[in-house]
Structures are given as structure tokens and as C-alpha cells.
Amino acid sequence: MDNNPVTETLPDSSNAEDNEPNVEMPSHTDESLPAILSSAPATPKADNKTPKITVVLCPVGGAPIMRQRKWEVDCTQTIGFIASFIRKKLTLQKSDSLFFYVNQSFAPSLDQSVQNLFDCFGSDGKLILAYCRTQAWG
């Protein structure tokens, strides 16, 4: 088990936000506007600091072990993004199989968002994903 408290951030898939200037919102607002804004999800352009979710990647079976197990992932990313990231880190080919399991129980689809999985199955402020090269559960 890795007791390294240092976490790294996965690279962001878009660089369009980095080149845009910061825009300040006007200070006067309508009374009903805060109620609408609080229920609407934050968009990446309105908020440069999108929330990050701690994802713990655990190898299962004969899967190669990654040195860094804890990663900070942008909440808007998908499991497919994490899969492509792991393939690059472990130098896997596209033809190599790679399976993911949430809390060692079920396999999420690749288009599932990290935020949704964290909201439903996160514990202790982390989302635990097991990865393996062969089917392990279910």
C-alpha cells in the first residue's frame, strides 16, 4: 500500500481556457439570480478552478502497478479519459484490454463522469477505482 501523501493532477484535456483573459462579473445582480446560479452547475469557462476529485487507482490481478496511485482528476472528466491516461502511463496498446471496477463491485461505462461516480460511490473524499487487464468481477 502506498502511503505517499503527495497527489498529482492528471493533465487537462483542453487548453482553450488557459489563453482566455479573466472576466469579472458585474457587482450588481438581480435578487432572483443567486437562487438560479446556486442550482446550476458551474461551467469551466465561468470558473477557471473546476473542482478536483481524488481518484485512487488500485491494480487487481496481474495488472502492472503504477508508482503514483492517488491522482487529482477534474470532476468533468470521464472514465474513458482515465483509461487513456492509464494506457499511456503503462504503455498499453489500444488492442490490450483494460477493465475498471468501482469499489471492486461493478464496471462503469467509459462515458460515465467521475463526478457522478464520486457522488454515488465515493467514500472518505476519494473515488476508488480498481483496474486490471483481465475481467476480475462480474
- Beta strand pairing status for 52-59 and 126-132? parallel
Cβ(51)–Cβ(125) below 8 Å: no
92 pLDDT band, cuts 50/70/90, is: confident
In the chain, which ranges are continuous DSSP H helix? Answer: 33-39, 79-89, 114-121
Q: Say which residues have a Cβ less than 8 Å from residue 87's Cβ, sequence separation at least 6.
A: 93, 94, 96, 98
Mean pLDDT of 79-99: 89
61 pLDDT band, cuts 50/70/90, is: confident
Is the pTM here over 0.75, yes or no? no
Fold of 46-138: Ubiquitin-like (UB roll) (3.10.20)
13 pLDDT band, cuts 50/70/90, is: low
Q: Where are the domains of the chain?
A: 46-138
